Structure 1
Amino acid sequence: MKILVGSDLGYQVNGPATLILNVQPAETPRQRILRETLTITPEGTRTEHWTVPATGNRYLRVHAQAGTSLHIHHEAEVELDAHVADPGEVTQLAPAELPPEVLPHLWPSRFCESDRLERLALREFCDAPPGHARVTAVCNWVHDRITYLRGASSPTTTATDTLLSGAGVCRDFAHLSVALCRALGIPTRFVSAHAPGLVPPDFHAVFEAFLGGKWWLFDATRQASPDVLVRIGQGRDAAEAAFAEIHGAATPTTMSIRAEVLEGPDVGRGLRTTQAVADVAEAP
């Protein structure tokens, strides 16, 4: 499967500023970058690039000068090799069986206060079969109770805030789902991605649950098909997988996102929610 992704980001810089961006697709055994371009104007703007080995997250640091109109153009053609399975065969591991490296994804984090939601999670999902079905039950519960509403949350909104307000965007759906899964003893992590078929086009937030020795993708908003998601970043929550951090006097002015399937399934035919998708971009 081949997917074309890209972004155009504009900033007005009124004073010295440093931007740390995580907008480029990760490159992993199951997500291969066939070609990629990155253009930054004004020319000569100082930049740095690095990849975090533990996550595969790729970062771009831009040092912008006062009085400039900064523009960042990125485009990449990505080849995906999704691992698809029968959800009924995806089991749940007991905490004693979990690999040590996934244990941090059981712990509460800044935006996913799983320790505050344990009683709710046990009450609502104790009867759901363990494994993929239980995480799907969490997704269904969040989808049915939280209204997708732009402007209903802020960068400081947490999972419990979303639960109380009853509204949010993809980031909030992911945080609440992650918190509930962790409260059930399921290691879970936040994932930022490009999502073909998303309306309107935007960066998207989903999550992964560690089941049966693999990380399996889920989208509680039901707006994207997991098998066509192009992974950008991952972390315990959005604080570790933010698309952009701005340090200094820079104000966002424009943002345009695109994601298009060049070769593969027609995303316009609807979501494929009857299959389990793992390791779309296999990562540690």
Structure 2
Amino acid sequence: MRRTVSARLEIELHDTVDLIFSIAAAQGAERATESLDITSGGTTLTARELLSRHGTRLHRLSGKPGRMTVNYRAEVEGRADPSSVDEVDLIEYRRPSRYCESDTLTPTAVGEFFGLSGKPLLDAVSTWVGDKLMYMPGGSQPTDGAIATLLARRGVCRDYAHLVIAMLRGLDVPARLVSVYAPGLSPMDFHAVAEAYVDDAWHVVDATRLAPRQSLLRIATGLDASETAFLTNSGGGLNLLEIQVMATVDELPVDDLSQLVILS
């Protein structure tokens, strides 16, 4: 499997800003080619790469007031090895988090899914969330968590993933959020899915069913969207003027929903 991914950001900085980008394919992917070009005021800037947990690669730099252009592109061959399993992760990913209020939603999770485990549980939660929500770009706020999403009954991919994660954690199943490049997604954008730890491995759960799970390419992994944002700024303000994301694969797979899928 050969995947080609790219992201282009146009940003207007109002001040000198500390910028952290999370748009590069995660460590572990076999990158045949890769480039990250950042320019501002006709000058090429160099970002410092930092490695976060689960192979998340962050690129950090300081930007001065003015317009900045960020271009990332990579060609990835094959599939990465399965994500490692850590005992501490299995503890942390059972806990409530900023956008996944599993403690409040535990009674709902128990009432809906009591007695299920393994793949039948993942299927039931994915179907339940997919049935409860309407996919609506612009229909949610960046600060909405799983509770707000369930009450509003609408959202985008990160909202679907947050509700899936909250339901699973409410049943003591470790679950986390992953930002990905998603060949087959329409309209194209960064995508967010859940990963759940069942049957001794991490498996993808995507209640939106908007792209085949087998072709997804990991970018960042964390408790929720607070740890997987594609851009974080501090020390000053900015406007995101334009974002273009592209992800293709040499042969788009058909997603067999009867199978568990491990994210590469």
- SS in structure 1 opposite 2:138? coil
- SS in structure 2 opposite 1:153? coil
Corresponding position: 1:41 with 2:39: yes
* Equivalent pair of 1:9/1:72 in contact (CA under 8 Å): yes
Aligned equivalents of 1:244 and 1:55: distance in 2?
A: 18
Partner of 1:271: 255
* Equivalent pair of 1:11/1:252 in contact (CA under 8 Å): yes
Partner of 1:134: 121
Quick one: structure 1 residues 3 and 46, their matched pair in 2 at CA, closer, same or farther if it must change by over 3 Å?
closer
Partner of 1:92: none
Structure 2: which 5+ residue stretches go unaligned?
Answer: none
Report the TM-score when normalising by structure 1: 0.86
Aligned equivalents of 1:159 and 1:209: distance in 2?
A: 16
Corresponding position: 1:151 with 2:150: no
Q: Aligned-pair RMSD on alpha carbons?
A: 1.7
Corresponding position: 1:62 with 2:50: no
Code of the residue aligned with 1:26 in structure 2: it is A
Aligned equivalents of 1:239 and 1:261: distance in 2?
A: 28
Aligned equivalents of 2:136 and 2:159: distance in 1?
A: 10
- SS in structure 2 opposite 1:176? helix
- SS in structure 2 opposite 1:12? strand
1:1-284 paired onto structure 2 within 5 Å: 1-28=1-28, 31-42=29-40, 43-45=43-45, 47-52=47-52, 54-66=53-65, 68-81=66-79, 99-127=87-115, 129-247=116-234, 248-262=236-250, 265-267=251-253, 270-278=254-262, 280-281=263-264
- SS in structure 2 opposite 1:276? coil
* Equivalent pair of 2:137/2:156 in contact (CA under 8 Å): yes
* Equivalent pair of 1:24/1:74 in contact (CA under 8 Å): yes
Aligned equivalents of 2:103 and 2:186: distance in 1?
A: 34
Code of the residue aligned with 1:195 in structure 2: it is A
Quick one: structure 1 residues 39 and 180, their matched pair in 2 at CA, closer, same or farther if it must change by over 3 Å?
same
How many residue pairs align between the two structures?
258
Aligned equivalents of 1:82 and 1:9: distance in 2?
A: 26
Aligned equivalents of 1:116 and 1:14: distance in 2?
A: 39
Aligned equivalents of 2:44 and 2:182: distance in 1?
A: 32
Post-superposition, which runs of at least 4 consecutive aligned residues in structure 1 deviate over 3 A?
98-101
Quick one: structure 1 residues 266 and 11, their matched pair in 2 at CA, closer, same or farther if it must change by over 3 Å?
same
- Name the % identity: 35
Code of the residue aligned with 2:259 in structure 1: it is Q
Report the TM-score when normalising by structure 2: 0.93
Q: Name whichever of 42-51 and 179-188 sits farther off.
A: 42-51
Partner of 1:89: none
Code of the residue aligned with 1:261 in structure 2: it is V
State the shift of 1:82 in Å.
7.2
State the shift of 1:47 in Å.
2.5
- SS in structure 2 opposite 1:109? coil
Structure 1: which 5+ residue stretches go unaligned?
Answer: 85-97
Quick one: structure 1 residues 209 and 253, their matched pair in 2 at CA, closer, same or farther if it must change by over 3 Å?
same
* Equivalent pair of 1:27/1:33 in contact (CA under 8 Å): no
- SS in structure 2 opposite 1:143? helix
State the shift of 1:45 in Å.
2.9
